[in-house]
Structure formats: structure tokens, C-alpha cells
Homo-oligomer: A and B are copies of this chain.
Amino acid sequence: MEPELRHLRYFVAVAEELHFGRAAVRLRMAQPPLSQQIRQLEAMIGTPLFVRTSRSVALTPAGEAYLDRCRRVLATVADDVHEAGRIGRGEQGRFDIGFVSSAIQLGLAGPIRRFRERHPAVHLRLHEAYTAHIVDRLLNGEVDLGVVRDADDHDDLVGTTFATESFVAVLPADHPHAGDLAIDAAVLRDDPFVFFPRVAGERAYQRNLRPCLEAGYTPKIVQDATSWATVAHLVAAGLGVTIAPASISAVVPASVGVVPLTGTEAATEVQILRRRQDDRITSTGFEAAGRAS
């Protein structure tokens, strides 16, 4: 037979009181069953823990040592319960955020800093990726929060808007409109386009195309690239033009022209996404931190 924590709790009580009657009172039970449980424990261990005369109770050396161990075990068990609870509530443990790179340019660092202050016991890990990948990883639990661009709606996810941006044209230095203050997307009708890959996120792709579609044409995409920074450099190298969220200006080389678009209401949105059932304060709280920025 194996001991249960009950045996340890009873043993500690008797060892501390050195009196079965008082220990029973403290444990809110009668004295005989307490004696019985202690006997069971002694039988399991194979040695007496107390020397009893009918007038006094004292610990044996084995009992002395075992008392110390039992206190530790009981404290550990209680601690472990609390720790697991904290992890479950998100107050401790790991927290993984997937984000699109442009979120940094839009001020994601602030909410991240506040998160670290608010939850110092949480090990925060940041993963840069595409919107579509982040949504997948959010759904299968690889990340706990996604900061994404124009994600498709999903029943299991809820989100809030983190930032909204308009689109700008990015043109090589020698492009006729590179110095303009603003242009209409229509003027780029015949230009070759560099673009980001469609698999990065369907909705973001569609929204990014909108200025062109509204101007009545589908851009001729000659090349795609894996990040806006790369796109910008390919534009600089003369492969073509592009239309991108305004925050691209933070990563373009000096030699390219960044020109606001007129005649379109098209906009793109960076959102903070979490799983609908995920009610940990680390997840729900991040949105508030985002809004506060």
C-alpha cells in the first residue's frame, strides 16, 4: 500500500502537537481514525514514527527525519498547484507572439514593453512571419497572439484593430512621377509591378490590389519578394514599381520615391488576433496595451 498525502498531513499534525487528541481537533476529526491512519503509515514505512506511552508521544529518529521530508512535500504540492494555476491563467510560463514585420514600424514595441513590465514572470517569445502563417500557428496553438495584416475572418479567432494605414506608391528614382507630391494609381497602369507573395495572406493581397482595381486595371506583376524591404530594394534596382502600406517608408532605400495615392479610400489594417476561447489575461490584456499606445 502506498501513502497518500492524507497520511503525511496527519503525521505532521501529530508530530507538531505530540498529542493525538489535540492533533485530531486541529484536523477536525475524531482521535481513533487518526491513530489508525498513523498506524497505517508506520506499517507502510516499516518502522515506528512515534514512541507512545499512554502518557506521552515522542518522535523516533526516523519520525524526526520523516517530519522534515513531509513538510517539504506538502509545501511543494501546494506550490505546484499554484504554479500550474498561474501558468493556466497566463501569469507565468511562455507567451508566443507572431507578428508581421511592419507591426514594428507601427509601434508594436510599446505594447511589448508594457507586456514585459506587467508580466515579468512570463517568457515572451517573438516570431516574425506572414499573416497566413501566423493565423495557422495561432489556430494550432504554436503562438498565443498574432499581430497580422488584413487577416481573413475566422470563427475561432477574435481581433482588434491595432493600426490603419493608407497605401503609397513606391517608385524608382528615375520614374517620371518619382518626385510628385501625390499621384493616382491610374498612372501606373503600364508599369511592371513588384509585389509581395499572395500566399502571405489573401485578404491583404486583395486590399493591396484595390487601388489598381479601382483605377480600372490589374497590375502586371513581374516579380514577387518575401518582404516589403526586399520589394523596396527591387524597386530601387529598377525592376518595377509597387503599391504598399504607408509604413513601407521606414524600410525603403533613400534612392526611391514614396508617393501618396489620391483618388482611393483603400486602406489596410494591422490587427491583434487571439483565440476566442483564450481568456488568459496575458492574451486579453495585450489588446488593451495596444489601444493605450
Q: Which residues of A contact B (CB under 8 A)?
A: 2-6, 8, 44-49, 60-63, 65-66, 68-70, 72-73, 76-77, 80-81, 83-85, 87-89, 93-94, 140-141
The 4 A-B residue pairs with the shortest CB-CB distance in the complex, in nearest-first order: A47-B88, A69-B80, A62-B88, A62-B87
**Are B62 and A141 in contact, with the CB atoms below 8 A?**
no
- List B contacts of A49 (CB < 8 A): 84
**Are B84 and A69 in contact, with the CB atoms below 8 A?**
yes
State which of B48, B66, B88, B140 has its C-beta within 8 Å of the C-beta of A72: B140
- List B contacts of A72 (CB < 8 A): 76, 140-141
- What is the bound-complex CA distance between A137 and B77, given in angstroms? 15
**Are B47 and A85 in contact, with the CB atoms below 8 A?**
yes
**Are B3 and A47 in contact, with the CB atoms below 8 A?**
no
- List B contacts of A70 (CB < 8 A): 80
Q: Are A89 and B47 also in contact (CB < 8 A) when A73-B73, A80-B73, A84-B65 are?
A: yes
- List B contacts of A81 (CB < 8 A): 3, 44-45
Which of A3, A62, A70 is most buried by chain B, counting CB atoms within 10 A of its CB? Answer: A62
**Are A45 and B84 in contact, with the CB atoms below 8 A?**
yes
Q: How far is the CB of A45 from chain B (nearest CB, A)?
A: 5
Q: Are A73 and B77 also in contact (CB < 8 A) when A2-B5, A5-B5 are?
A: yes
